[in-house]
Structure 1
């Protein structure tokens, strides 16, 4: 049914082979296929087989995706075999009107790779429209004096068909008085004229019925002079878009008669309805004006028949030839033919993105167009044919920088003034995995507080990937550390989704962020974890320590002590480090405010002024020790200070002073009393046994320390190397009771692992056992080199008359300590 380029046979096949080879060399080179079909084909009728005519394989049809690019689609392509089929009614008269040639042109687009082919379908006319008259009955008045051979123009019939299918002949039913002749217009159309064959006699027959569709001929009275036009053909050229009512030209006819017979009226004759709507003729003046909008693109010229009729019914005829001048009144049209509005960001230069087609209804210079892009884009327009362009890539695409392009294509004609049209296309850039994940920093230092429970989050790393979808979805893992690989899992883990690092145990490690693209890209970051101290230990007071009965011991201060005298020192330690271990000392309560001062950092208690007469001999200080943590932790210590020149003055008060009561320990009171009674009974039994044994011995070893002049006198003082530290101290109290003089002395510090017999050294000391508040003690080189903390001594302390009592006291306290 169709032929390639309008040809068949060997020549057509050779041209087909040439076009097929040419399509292999230049995939985007357009081909032109021409088919010829009659109008009014049934829907689904075959026009031609595209794969065969285009040189495409049937197996390639699913991937090539053949489709038609046209404003109105009269055809469709079968997806099974590639046949071009009729999909809509094709009426040649409606599509092309009176044009001698009717051609439907469109583009056939093939994908992968992008090709397009020009298709032309010639529509042949069929005789499907009968001729028609504008009126079924026409009345024609003819004078009875009409001469034989006189002619009268009749209304011509209209036929929408063209060529041989158009109007060819007029017929008149047989009549003795009239005959019919046909004449032809310059445009090829024919019109009839009625000819008088024999003289007419109105009195004999006033009406003649003729069949030329229905013509009624009336015989009028005599009017022997017909009107005459000044010229047979009137010509005019007018611009399209001329305003309605504008004058085009004037026709004029004259009549030699007078009176009513000389009154001439003008009317259209042999003119279609379309022309009658576009032009108006003044029946009195013969002025032709526009009655509608003239459009050069619809019709370039008009031929109009005008009849002049006088009062006596004589007529004359002339032709008006009107040529329409084209104006640049149509902006060019632009259409984009691209099924896909997206392209990969790694597309090569010159990749075809879309097919651009332009069309301008104007002619000549007004119809010439050029295409360009508005703005700077990595694309350009390449002209393919006169009205076809291609949008191709002209630069590197990067979706991470610009994910989409709103491209505006402008088509401008060359008229004056030029007209233009714009078409925008939104082109999305498809992501490819061309970016590796990126961490915010290459090295992370994390401080973690101590005592972190297993599974606690200690850090979070975050890597960003500008890619899209799976290409930008990042997962995290541990790839290296300074720990053993098998031990790494017991120390730390990382969430693959969020990058949160969890501490599993109480280290530098390498974390990897990896996307899910293909191929996958990754990045590493180093993470170092440092454990910070937490303020979880309160200060611990080492001195002053509590006595055996739980009460605070007394420190003596000379009555003559001057301001600034070092009375004692509060010693405390904190197991934390850094700011959490910085200790400060504060006085919470004092029985005599302003009498003593306390060092904020040293804990030294000094006299702030001299003892006054009104000041009590016994003073009490409540000291708080705070660390530097947040929130701070604290401990308290009670200092009992006694102003006395000797220990004798203090001991009676000490023995008579009731033990402090603890309101919170009322429930334990009875247990303590019972335990005390049992301890006293046990100690009395032990003392009695030891005394009996010593009585049998002539020289008890325990008496070696109580010889005369053994004790050396030492001034009261504080150890010069007594500074803050983290080691606890142990202090022993030495005193003699029931003697004329009493001494109160702090003895040298001894470790717990020294045997009891080594305590009886060359320096006589009565040892009161003190409980140790730590497992470690400060040892000194020997008793001779030790420095007592606080000593008040009398030479009479070592006299023999008191030795027995002193031995008993010594044994009492020693045994109590060992027990």
Structure 2
């Protein structure tokens, strides 16, 4: 105050707290590995991904052998979450009930209820937690020394394999199967699913040196991921196989059904996404690849603002064969990609915050399309006419040339129709030669239809016609047709 006597003046203090309200003054900033930061933002952020050409589908289904993570609730025998109820003998029904603080002590694993104001604590309550076993341990096979048996027929015991599983109960029940037999000997052996005893079921020859690979399996239901289907225009049967992305043998595909299933435990902490390339092949060796997952990549942006000003939404142009999750930044294909039509895509991802007057951040994305052998060779010419002299073997007739749009062309030339006893074609170069001399007097014109093994079609461009005109040579002596009598 302002008392006249300075020594009698009195004063008091107070605390003023100023809360600074966040304003939308910062742009979203993309973050990527190895970026150079400037004022908290990446300089020229660019993302690059590589995906295969073909049809793309999204995986469905859950995970097998999910691990227990932090934050799981404990449940009682009735399946209800465990909770605590505290009573105090000093309080009557009309007294206000304090909000108790619960503390978990270690290592005794006891719970104590404490009053916040008086710090009075209850007697400790001991807890007992029983962990339920999950099927998270694979069976382990014991080593089996090499086995020698005599050649011949009949049912004979080869060996007995055993495996152990550290799980308990039904999770530790093991079944056995033969995974692989060398020298195409799968039909010559059988294994008992329960005991692991291996017996012969076919003739064994003295020259055979056979290696068997056995696989124990825990009792785990196969989780179906998806079902793929391919149709052959010629109605030939189609066989499916996984050709990439299954290095740990965690997935299997039915050769005839196309059902893709999980056969081993997946660990999300180790790998969150899998990309499988599945091949559908007919009897002629023609194939069509597809993938069982359409994931391309993830972009990530941060915003130093708070609240709605820091909520980021991602978007990409609508005229490209990709889509993006607006919340997570995950990019996936929206339609099949064709390497031969376009092998690279470049587009911009926009990150927009949630403020009414939104601020933006951008990043460049480059997607490289990997080529797959999905194109067949084609001929640009439909006909070639040549003339060669008669009676000369190993003469170069002509050289045909087909074009394969794939990155790694696969072209094998073959004569589909014509005198293969008189002509031959080099399967690699396409050069046509005679195998022996032609005879003008027997046949003046030869027609050959040349194609490729990779393309068995009959449409325009699938084959080429080679017309060979044989030139006459003076190789026949004159013959008297009549002799007058004298």
Using structure 1 for the length normalisation, give the TM-score. 0.22
Between Structure 1 and Structure 2, whose CA radius of gyration is higher?
1
The structure that is helix-richer by fraction is 1
RCO greater where, 1 or 2, for CA within 8 Å and sep 6 or more?
A: 2
